[in-house]
């Protein structure tokens, strides 16, 4: 076996992007990729506003907000300044036994802008970890009440809550991305995906039966409010949330809402649960929390949950990430939320929604399209076949846009600062590429 020789000397010529790009292809695992047949990766030189500039000079209008997080676009002076200012005092201190002003300020803000019952904040590293913490909160709460048998969760088909093991266990077990691990994951209950009729009336019969039958063993229901994200980009009505909340109260079950994707305006309201006029017992936030600058998430809980856990055994909430409440991340989160409230975000999101409705409507006539739907600053074109990323990703780049489809979904969640011309480029590119896809026989497409 060949011995690896230790060396700190970089041998690549980093002034030539093609060199380090080739090294990336050979050695770096990107999200959900196969190293034997890697999907295309495009070297980025810089990003400004809603524009991603590739190393070869091409400029792309960003339709993804870097996986839904960069709501203010890139390289924003207010967010840059927040990090630069914070850096002068401290980049990080452990949160065990220490605290700092950016974290306290952020906690106060989150408590002020979320449901009145949410009074305690746990800062985590990422959205997946925020969900792990929420699950622990729910389970510890039940144990502290002397109800150890309430140790399972109820989740939903088409749900996605993250990639760590606890989060994977409440993702769709059949059609989700984690079926490979099904034999080692904790087993939970799953209801059908939320459904509503054309009048906005929810069908809760099946979930009602599950809760009625299994509530002695259900600690909490976990759900993405109004929008199911990576599990299918599905939208449903507020009435479903209202009825689900009533069922949880009736049967002594907690309600965890995962707003990691929908929080901070994406669905048209500041938080999606507000459209149902309900309050969750536990709320998970992330992604846009820092405006896409740094990884940070938060799990908020009611005083009832925090007090019950603290009075039980062992009394402590059993979680504590090393980089919890990182001062740089908290500082930029404070600046991002302040910027959001000063930006007229609701008018911006409403304008994006209106333009997405008209701009994507033309896709309905294409043979490969099954459905077109829009909610807030989310536009979705659902196809009747899975996309081939090897074929479709370069097509979008040729159109001057960055759109990252998955499964049979081509969608956009652009930064709120996008202007009408840039948004038109995104919707036109979707129509153009799907038109080309329609013209290609499925067999030819799979051989591209």
Q: Which residues form the catalytic set?
A: 32, 160, 258, 287
Q: What tokens were used for 336?
A: 């991002």
CB 56 within 8 A of CB 410: no
Helix (H) or strand (E) run with residue 390 in it:
helix 389-398
Which residues does residue 223 pair with via DSSP β-bridges, in sequence order? Answer: 257
Of 306, 410, 414, 331, the C-alpha closest to 62 is 414
CB 369 within 8 A of CB 363: yes
Q: 112: helix, coil or strand? A: helix
Beta-carbon neighbour count of residue 292 at 10 Å?
A: 24
Q: What is the CA radius of gyration of the chain?
A: 23
The string of DSSP codes covering 307-376 is: HHHHHSSS-S-S---TTTT-HHHHHHHHHHHHHHHHTTHHHHHHHHHHHHHHHHHGGGGSTTEEEEEEET
Would the CA dihedral through 261, 262, 264, 268 be positive or negative? positive
Beta-carbon neighbour count of residue 42 at 10 Å?
A: 15
b/e for 49-82, b at 16 or more Cβ within 10 A? bbbbebeeeeebbbbbbbebbbbbbbebeebeeb
Cα–Cα distance for residue pair 155/150, rounded to 1 Å: 15
Of 237, 216, 244, 250, the C-alpha closest to 156 is 244
Of 150, 181, 149, 147, the C-alpha closest to 167 is 181
Sequence-distant (6+) residues with CB within 8 A of 217 are 149, 150, 151, 152
């Amino acid at each position: 076996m060949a011995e690896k020789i230790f060396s700190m000397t970089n041998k690549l010529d980093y002034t030539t992007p093609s060199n380090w790009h080739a090294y990336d292809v050979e050695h770096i695992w990107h999200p959900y990729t196969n190293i034997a047949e890697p999907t295309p990766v495009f070297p980025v030189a810089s990003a400004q506003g809603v524009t991603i500039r590739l190393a070869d000079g091409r400029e792309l209008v960003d339709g993804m907000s870097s996986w839904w997080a960069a709501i203010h676009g890139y390289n924003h002076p207010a967010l840059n300044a927040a990090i630069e200012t914070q850096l002068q005092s401290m980049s990080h201190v452990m949160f065990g036994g220490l605290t700092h002003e950016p974290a306290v300020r952020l906690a106060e803000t989150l408590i002020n802008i979320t449901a009145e019952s949410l009074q305690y904040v746990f800062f985590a590293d990422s959205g997946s970890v925020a969900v792990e913490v929420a699950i622990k909160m729910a389970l510890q709460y039940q144990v502290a009440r002397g109800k150890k048998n309430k140790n399972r969760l109820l989740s939903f088909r088409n749900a996605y809550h993250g990639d760590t093991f606890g989060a994977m266990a409440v993702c769709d077990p059949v059609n989700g991305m984690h079926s490979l691990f099904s034999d080692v994951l904790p087993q939970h209950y799953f209801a059908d995906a939320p459904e509503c009729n054309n009048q906005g009336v929810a069908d809760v019969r099946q979930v009602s039966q599950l809760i009625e039958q299994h509530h002695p063993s259900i600690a909490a229901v976990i759900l993405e409010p109004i929008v199911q994200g990576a599990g299918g980009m599905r939208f449903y009505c507020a009435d479903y949330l209202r009825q689900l909340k009533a069922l949880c109260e009736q049967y002594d079950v907690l309600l965890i809402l995962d707003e990691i994707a929908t929080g901070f305006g994406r669905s048209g309201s500041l938080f999606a649960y507000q459209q149902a006029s309900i309050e969750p017992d536990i709320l998970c936030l992330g992604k846009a929390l820092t405006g896409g600058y740094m990884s940070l998430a938060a799990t908020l809980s009611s005083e009832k949950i925090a007090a019950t856990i603290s009075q039980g055994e062992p009394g402590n909430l059993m979680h504590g990430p090393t980089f919890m409440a990182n001062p740089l991340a908290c500082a930029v989160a404070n600046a991002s939320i302040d910027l959001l409230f000063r930006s007229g975000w609701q008018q911006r999101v409403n304008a994006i929604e209106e333009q997405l409705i008209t701009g994507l409507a033309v896709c309905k006539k294409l043979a490969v399209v099954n459905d077109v739907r829009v909610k807030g600053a989310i536009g979705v074109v659902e196809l009747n076949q899975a996309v081939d990323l090897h074929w479709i990703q370069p097509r979008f780049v040729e159109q001057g846009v960055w759109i990252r489809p998955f499964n049979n979904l081509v969608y956009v969640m652009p930064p709120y600062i996008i202007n009408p011309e840039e948004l038109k480029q995104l919707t036109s590119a979707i129509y153009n590429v799907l038109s080309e896809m329609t013209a290609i026989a499925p067999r030819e497409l799979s051989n591209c």
